[in-house]
Amino acid sequence: MSATLKHNFGAGPCILPQTVLQRAAEAVKRWDSIGLSILEISHRSPEFESVVKETEMLIRELLNIPDDYSVLFLQGGASMQFCMVPMNFLQGSKKEAAYLDAGYFGVKAIKEAQLFGKVNVIGSSKDAGYTHLPEDYTIPEDAAYFHYTSNNTIEGTQMWGALKSHVPVVCDMSSDIFSREIDVSQFDLIYAGAQKNTGPAGLTIVIAKNQFLDSVKHPVPSMLDYRIYRDNGSMYNTPPVFSIYTAMLNLQWLKETGGVKFIAKENLAKAQLLYDEIDRNPLFKGTAAREHRSLMNVTFRMENPVDEANFLTYAAKSGMVGIKGYRTIGGFRASLYNALPYESVKALVGCMQAYAETVVPFQSTY
Ligand SMILES: *Cc1c(COP(=O)(O)O)cnc(C)c1O
């Protein structure tokens, strides 16, 4: 291993707490509950059934989920939800589904929904390159449901206000679930791929109002039917055992650390530190509209594009990992998920300042 301490700003899969990694690694060798590796035990064993139960309890507790909601463990990533949602709630309906076009993942969700029925894109910020969230849209009162992404992982924008809607609200919360307090009762279905605040890849969490699930009247293939997961305790088939186990460890860590309310404050402090530097340092500029800036994924560029490759190399030497912007967008993206320490943001800011000292000003305005 290299001597340089790594600061992991990866967008997903992303950083997990060291203690979680250690405990997960131990369980791979020998899980004390059974005396075998967590990788080789039956998902039907009572010991693993208690893992599933505890994980669900932790999710319910951390997000304060009302009793009339189910918590489900699925696979296929958030991307599977792009088709599973319309397959269940749009297919066969005479209604349209209302979607917000606010970024890369929302676009993918729209594309899948169009396979199952009519999609009404009620707001878009495409023309602005998704640098801000769509504004001035209304949710039609007769929509089958309204779908949006709470945090645009690639573009670095985040939806803050609670959306009032007369129709069921479906939200892709993959990249900001557990990062801040939410009022679950405002939503009918929340989904999130696990690999950005919950645990390792391979698990998808769905939180759904039972009444909404029961509104589905047409047949759906079993593995794509939410009710099958609910009615079988997410054990209709073999669930991702190791991912669920590690998610449990991570959610235990979150609870012990102080829960969502506490971590939200930490996340705000981390984002503020980095945005302040971006705004202060003449070499850098933020790419998302200030009022829509994400606390999870901070996107930025350099005033002089020539500097970008140089800064990337410079930052890598100081241990910064995963700050390259998404392949289609370029620039930089620093993801500040729950497990990323404040110290890592300080290190990145230090690196930006140190780099600025090495650069000969290319504009007289410096
Ligand atoms: C990462 C991400 C996805 C894609 O998740 P997969 O688990 O890879 O399918 C979808 N939506 C958002 C908001 C994401 O951040």
CA distance 227 to 213: 6
CA-150 nearest atom, ligand 1: 13
Ligand 1 mean position, distance from CA 171 (Å): 12
The share of the chain scoring above pLDDT 70, in percent, equals 97
Provide the pLDDT for residue 366: 46
The pLDDT of residue 165 is 87
Note the Cα 210 to chain centre separation in Å: 23
CB 105 within 8 A of CB 147: no
Rounded CA-CA distance 27/36 in Å is 8
Q: Is the CB of 105 under 6 A from ligand 1?
A: yes
Mean pLDDT, to the nearest integer, of 1-23? 89
Is 80 exceeded by the pLDDT of residue 15? yes
Mutate to test the pocket of ligand 1, among 74, 81, 105, 295 (most ligand atoms within 8 A of CB): 105
Q: Which residue has the tokens 């943001």?
A: 345
Does residue 240's CB lie within 6 angstroms of at least one atom of ligand 1?
A: no
Q: From the CB of 188, is ligand 1 less than 6 Å away?
A: no
Give the percent of the chain with pLDDT over 90. 93
Give the pLDDT band (50/70/90) at residue 1. very low
Percent helix, strand, coil in the chain (nearest 5)? 40, 15, 45
What average pLDDT score do residues 213-241 get? 97
Give the Å distance between the CA of 31 and the centre of ligand 1.
30
Say which CATH superfamily domain 259-363 falls into.
Aspartate Aminotransferase, domain 1 (3.90.1150.10)
Instruction: Determine the 3-state secondary structure of 137 from DSSP.
Output: coil
Residue 39 CA to residue 252 CA, distance in Å, equals 20
Q: In angstroms, what CA-CA distances link 49 with 45, 52, 165, 222?
A: 6, 5, 37, 21
Least trusted range by pLDDT, from 31-40, 138-147, 200-209, 324-333: 324-333
pLDDT per position as a tens digit, 307-316: 999 999 999 9
Residue 363 has pLDDT above 90, yes or no: no
12 close to ligand 1 (CB < 6 Angstrom): yes
Amino acid, res. 184: V
Task: Using the mean position of ligand 1's atoms as its centre, give its distance from the Cα of residue 337 in Å.
Answer: 14
Cβ of residue 153 lying under 6 Å from some atom of ligand 1: yes
Q: Which helix (H) or strand (E) holds 99?
A: strand 97-101
Ligand 1 contact via 77 beta carbon (within 6 Å):
yes
Q: Where are the domains of the chain?
A: 18-257, 259-363
At 118-155, the pLDDT tens digits run: 999 999 999 999 999 999 899 999 999 999 999 999 99
Question: Would you identify the CATH topology of the domain 18-257?
Answer: Aspartate Aminotransferase; domain 2 (3.40.640)
Please indicate whether residue 172, judged by its CB atom, sits closer than 6 Å to ligand 1. yes
Q: Which atom of ligand 1 is nearest to the CA of 151?
A: 13
* DSSP string across 167-236: S-EEEE-TTTTTSS---GGG-SEEEEEGGGTTSSTT-EEEEEEHHHHTT--S---GGG-HHHHHHTTT-S
- Is the pLDDT at 284 greater than 60? The verdict is yes
**pLDDT at residue 90 is higher than 80:** yes
192 within 8 A of 172, measured Cβ to Cβ: yes
Alpha helices in 6-115 (DSSP H): 18-29, 46-63, 77-89, 104-113
From 56-60, 241-245, 327-331, 333-337, the region with the lowest mean pLDDT: 327-331
CA of 61 to the centre of ligand 1 (A): 24
